Structure 1
Amino acid sequence: MDTLEQPNLTRYASLLPDTGEPGFGVYVHWPFCAAKCPYCDFNSHVRHQPVDQERFTAAFLKEMAAMRRLSGPKTVTSVFLGGGTPSLMNPSTVSAILDGIAKEWHMPDGIEITMEANPSSVEAERFRGYRAAGVNRVSLGVQALNDRDLKFLGRLHDVEDALKAIKLARDIFPRMSFDLIYARPKQTVEEWERELKEAISYAVDHLSLYQLTIEEGTPFFGLHKMGKLVVPDDDQSAALYEATQEITAAEGMPAYEVSNHARPGAESRHNLTYWRYGDYAGIGPGAHGRLTRGPTKLATATERKPEAWLELVERDGHGVLEQEQLGYDEQADELLLMGLRLTEGVDLARWQQLSGRDPDPKREEFLLEHGFIERIGNSRLRCTPSGMLILDSVVADLAC
């Protein structure tokens, strides 16, 4: 396949630079998809009748007002329209949502505003409408660059659709990313290396590269349990992961998080807010939030079923079903869990302030000696590439 023309990198200057601070993000969940992928356990729903977008928009705006009362005044550093398939929204819906966020909080010019999109739902006119509404970054769910695996993954697009969407996104938006899933059945390291190099050749500035996981409650889970779907074993998965790190680093797109790779300066600001353990308001069916309130952090979760959420919001002004006050110890554990995913690691002073202690010397020494973690000066702690392969175990050890 021909390599696409390189983008104009000077366009990136229009977005505000990353300050390194956690920031405050707003996440809006559009829960509808044209079809449910067999590997997906996200809160996504298929509806065979048109969705009443005006009614859902009014509910989003109501819930925003409720979240603003919980969060107090904030300056928004990023917005993320996720799903589901947000690119099924009308541009007028997106415009109304972004206007609502700007009404409730301070939203400076130049912040990152991301929308997820599927190649099968991409149209040039719709993309231009999203850009006019204020979206300046798009994340495409490409998932594979061959038609056989796209069919296996239940995607509605083919490679031709994907390349068309990539080109449109690059022509219209200042920044773009796309997702790929690897560790697919029978996938070899050589096949993945070729596919990954092809993806990088399309001159994106950001790639999200996820290993295929078998999630309970999905069609793939049932097939895997019956032995009809066999995924790579741990050794093969590790080899695929290591090849991913080597190729992306060599091509100038090193990992800045376990599954995310970017050219310097093109990291996802919104996702950095999660991983740096910042605050974020979660709006829409099944959305989660974290809002600092004095010494505690309020964890929120809304009703997952779209129509039930809609009725709750119309009745009560919000669809929040769960509110939990997280104390210092719980915040310290979450900070560690999120921060160790990042190449920049965890701010030790912040962790010590929350937890009230230093890392256990014996546990830290063990992990250091075995090459799973390393100190960055005296201020930060991070996982090594070897530690990233056993990230959950490293977090558990340090959190004890």
Structure 2
Amino acid sequence: MPHQAPGGTDVAPADVTPLVQLVSPTGERVVEPDNATYRSRVDHLTPGDLRAMYRDMVLTRRFDDEATALQRQGELALYAQGRGQEAAQVGSAWALAPQDYVFPSYREHGVLHVRGVDPVDRLRLYRGEDHGGWDPAESNVHLYTLVIGSHVLHATGYAMGVQRDGAVGTGDASRDAAVVTYFGDGATSQGDVSEALVFAAVNNAPTVFFCQNNQWAISEPTTRQSRVPLYRRGEGFGIPSVRVDGNDVLACYAVTAEALERAHAGGGPTFIEAYTYRMGAHTTSDDPTRYRERAEEEYWRQRDPIERVAALLRAEDAWDDAWAAQIDRDADALGERLRTEVRALGAPPATTMFEHVYATEHAQVTAERAWFEAYENETGQSSTEAAR
């Protein structure tokens, strides 16, 4: 399934394993002998499931657009856009079991949507009002991590803990668990990611490494980071690896489902490279026109992951105008809620900085908190004012 991108870069070079694709950019099912196993993994998905995936992708993009607008209006300090990566995130998240645990980087807005993390809570970090924004225990989604690649090592350690707790390979579908960690192409150049791959491989940890190769590590193209497709880095550590069309929501679902099945059964880690494209900026402080060509951006706009699902639904007589109009209304309601509630967010008491430092009470932290509260009482300032 190779095809050419601008500049002659192969999406799937002929001398390597082709990328997995189940739906073409124009919305037709791709039926080839090489993808038969993956096709079987989506056979159970109904037209209703496809419509639900489409809705998740549309709402994820609306969240992205509204958050970007809020940052431009000064309501957020920064925002990392995910436009164009909805299929990779929604498709993979749909494959997760409730007991699976997710370690995201900082732009997995679609994954958080599918896992039920409140949209306002997702923006507390970007507004500078909270170090995290949500309780990881409620959704089995760890907090966003801004330090590139560090969370991949944390995910592997967590997966080793899951393994040692006996929650792998029991045959109990409601108990066997895995860990999925999301990171970008740039993170694969970080030492933490290499260390994570070593530990996951030699310990057979139930870790799914989901690399969203959006082709730009800020302003650095993938060609400046690796001389081979990124999924082959996983192979170098002895980890089963696959490259998937990251703009194909069904293909992303299928490869993740296979990887999770392997991990749940005790078969160890998998490395997935989802070849996609960041249609927006790296963050709202970035100007991609300084390093990307208009032709490249147009090429990928024609391969929009949301439009691909819409084309598939129309081709299979599963599209309904009234249903689509309702999704638009849902998106409008989401936008209104974000604009209203994010602006209303207030800074938490400064004393919260002493919470969650250690799992149990720590004498030094307790003493420091007592000193701070005494200072607050003496000066008559609120804890937030005192901290500032």
- Give the structure-2-normalised TM-score: 0.32
Higher strand content, 1 or 2: 1
- Give the structure-1-normalised TM-score: 0.31
Higher relative contact order (CA closer than 8 Å, sequence separation 6+): 2
